[in-house]
Amino acid sequence: MFNLAKKNKKYIMKNLLSENGMGIIEIIVVVAIILSAFVAILQLTFLERRAQIIAREDIEAYMLARESLEATRSIRDDSWANLSSLTYDIPYYVVINTNVWEITATDPGPVNGYDRWVEVSQVFRDANDDITTSGGVSDPDTLEVTSYVEWTTAGGNTRQVDMKTYLTNWQEYR
């Protein structure tokens, strides 16, 4: 009987020791899982913040490009000669001077970290009077205006957006 009790005691002690060891392993696994989840949530937070910054920069750049096109349209409305006299496919800068938009070849430099400019291009029309990119006849009463906005991101990358529109000498036909 004494021998059986001794064996049972050994068996019980062995089980207790293995359960204690298993408890420590379980705690380590749980801590590792919790830390992994915390790191994943932290990375997701940083990724979301970066996405918000990129979206804000893109929206601001597109708004500036659109504003440049509208400023060019306003300059055209003052006089078609303001645009038709420009050299094709070189950068021009739209600036506001005493509440009036002007177009100049002098770069004013970045404004709030964004460089912006417009380029005026010649337009050609085919036999059906449709705008074409190859061949055709030059249309002196239509210009293609492309607005560019360029900036450097927080990571040091240079990004650029552009928008195009066609402007016509509509006042000639009034």
Average pLDDT, the chain: 88
Q: How many CA atoms lie within 13 A of 74 on its CB side?
A: 14
Calculate the CA 47 to chain-centre distance.
15
**Cβ–Cβ under 8 Å, residues 139 and 123:** yes
Determine how many CB atoms are found less than 10 A away from the CB of residue 76: 21
**Residue matched to tokens 């003052």:** 78
pTM (predicted TM-score): 0.74
pLDDT tens, residue by residue, 13-56:
565 555 555 688 888 999 999 999 999 999 999 999 989 999 99
pLDDT (mean) for 124-138: 89
pLDDT (mean) for 152-162: 91
pLDDT (mean) for 63-68: 96
Determine how many CB atoms are found less than 10 A away from the CB of residue 116: 23
